[in-house]
Structure 1
Amino acid sequence: MIRGVRGATTIEENVEQEIVSATEKLIREMILQNDIVAEAVASVFISVTEDIDGAFPAKALRRITGWTYVPVMCMREIPVENSLKNCIRIMIHINTEKSQREIHHVYLEKAISLRPDLKDE
């Protein structure tokens, strides 16, 4: 079965180093908390808010050993009024036998505010 693992984080500055570093930190935490191996990944979608254009956050995925052939796509979030700014969101689609309740979604930095209902799980 394919399940989605969600994650989000924020950056302070729209510069390549920070975008890639924050994305890598988030992906690594999603991998760790869900025991994800690259061979089980169907695809990765990464979206950014419209104020992020300093780099492709997908570059972070290429820093992770064994993830060379994982399909990844970057896209822009819809610009909803009063939404969280400087936000990077990730959806990893994995092949797993885990139930939805067993999936650990990861929210870092100011993105914790997106899903406060998940912070204690």
Structure 2
Amino acid sequence: MGVRAVRGATTVDTDTAEAIDKNVRELVSVMLERNQLDKDQLISIFFTATSDLHSMFPAAAARALGFGDVPLMCAQELTIEGAVTHCVRVMMHVEDDRDRRLFHHVYLHGAIGLRDDLPD
């Protein structure tokens, strides 16, 4: 099996645990669905959050989806002037032999358009 990475991002309207939980669960679920992946293919998931998000670790939302046995890591995103705010980014590492160009990277809510150069 090869190792592939799938990217994604979402935003939240407010810095609350409920908003982060809801949107991160949505993002991770859509990433798996659009790429026809199941939990057994997950190697690890790396999350970053912008410095204006303090209410919850994005990885906690993934654990609540049943990914407690998948290595999860959170970090703070770089603070860049003019960057999207209230944003959680994800890099999901998976075991899969498909050509990397066949994967669908997922950008939701205010993160739509962050990476227009990638296939949908």
TM-score normalised by structure 2 residue count: 0.93
Matches of 1:68 and 1:55, distance apart in 2: 16
| Aligned twin of 2:54 | 53
* Match status 1:103 vs 2:114: no
Question: Structure 1: where are the runs of 5+ without partners?
Answer: none
| Aligned twin of 1:11 | 12
Question: Which runs of 4 or more aligned residues in structure 1 lie more than 3 Å from their structure 2 counterparts after TM superposition?
Answer: none
Matches of 1:53 and 1:73, distance apart in 2: 15
Once the two structures are aligned, what percentage of the paired residues are identical?
35
**Contact 1:7–1:91 (CA under 8 A) maintained in structure 2:** yes
| Aligned twin of 2:94 | 94
| Aligned twin of 2:45 | 44
* Match status 1:27 vs 2:31: no
**Paired residue type of 1:117:** D
Question: Cα RMSD (Å) of the superposition?
Answer: 1.2
TM-score normalised by structure 1 residue count: 0.93
Question: Structure 2: where are the runs of 5+ without partners?
Answer: none
| Aligned twin of 2:78 | 78
**Paired residue type of 1:41:** L
1:51-91 Cα deviation digits (max 9, x unpaired)? 011111111112224x2200100110111111111100001
